[in-house]
Chains A and B, each alone.
Chain A
Amino acid sequence: MVSLLILAWIYFRIGLIFVGGGYVLIPLLNHIMVQQYGWLTLREFLDGLALSQLTPGPLAMLATFTGFRAGGFPGGLVATVFIFLPCVTLMLIVGRNYERLKKIDLISSTLDGVLPAIVGLVAAAAWNLGASSLSGAREFIILLIGFGLFKWTRVSPMIVIIGAGLVGLLLN
């Protein structure tokens, strides 16, 4: 069993680099977990990657999987807490200074200018997800039903998603 302190330190450092962007995490974790420490085989690492993407959490849930392998449930917990510590801290600092930053004219107009680009990014996410996961007429029909429900009714999104999951289970 690996010491939890060492785990905490390793994942905290990964968390710091992770702030730069999501997919950096894959080669980095692979290097540390598989090559440097040999806690997992490459095969296990790739299965863990697939498994972490099954959950709603960010890709960094891979930390939970690798931490679990290295130190059981406590290892997974420590890995998860410490990999997210840097970005949560940074985001809290941003939140704390948000109102103050917004009072500065230049920052506020820059922020407002970025908003259309965000709309483009959101639309692009739908496009990319669609390109990788829509494969037949059935999926398109589910998409249209979902679109209609979200656009014109006030049904809770959770219920629609759970319902869609059940439909997926039944159909496949």
Chain B
Amino acid sequence: METSKQTVSLTEIFLTFAKIGLTGFGGGMAIVALVERICVRQKGWITSEQFMHGLAFGQILGPFSLNVCTFTGHHLRGIRGGLVAAVGFITPSFLLVSLLSWIYFSYNQLPQLQAALKGTNPVIIGLIVVVAIDMGRTQIKGANSALLALAAFGATVFLKLNAAWVLLAAALWSLAASIWRRRCS
């Protein structure tokens, strides 16, 4: 997968991430799945591997939906690209929350957005599943990596562990394995 790096304008970065920030209902992984679809598959802005590295950093450093946007933007156009992507992504949510807060504090009512979310939620799950399958197809090779993927899945779903901790544990495990391999060779 070739990435076409220098040609992307800041305006295009802003508009792309604003669109993601406008439609990515579900937050968190929904955003990650959308960025993967659009920036990795459709536009070829960043390779799947680089994107997942960014996600690994982003998981550990707080709000990963925002972090993958910053990382991808930075990959395209440096610091300015990262800032533009982050601002573009947050702006729609910011305007939406401001509007909803205004309605809430003026009329003391929560707007009925839940109905629409009942439709988007299942579709978002579908998108995340597709992204997991596509990522798995390129990244899971052999029994070891399949086991690690299953362990991360199980730790999150059944043990209810925080994703950032799961990832840190995986990183330590992988670091130990790398050192071990180096010693043997």
Report which A residues bind B (CB closer than 8 A).
18-23, 47-48, 50-61, 64-65, 68-69, 73, 76-77, 80, 84, 86-88, 90-92, 94-96, 98, 102, 106, 109-130, 133-134, 139-140, 142-151, 154, 156-158, 160-162, 164-169, 171-172
Contact = CB atoms under 8 A, between A and B. Distances in A.
A167 B163 CA distance: 32
Given A129-B29, A129-B125, A150-B127, A166 B62 contact: no
B163 A121 contact: yes
A143 B21 contact: no
B110 A64 contact: no
A80 B90 contact: yes
Contacts of A129: 26, 29-30, 121, 124-125, 128
Contact of A65 (B27, B101, B178): B101
14 contacts: A18-B62, A48-B104, A53-B27, A73-B102, A111-B56, A113-B178, A116-B140, A117-B149, A118-B56, A121-B153, A133-B121, A158-B19, A161-B24, A169-B115
Interface of B: 19-34, 37-38, 42, 49-50, 52-59, 61-63, 65-67, 70-71, 74-75, 78-79, 82-83, 86, 89-90, 92-94, 96-98, 100-102, 104-105, 110, 113-133, 135-136, 139-140, 144-146, 148-154, 156-157, 162-164, 166-167, 170-171, 173-175, 177-179, 181-182
Overall SS of chain A's interface = helix
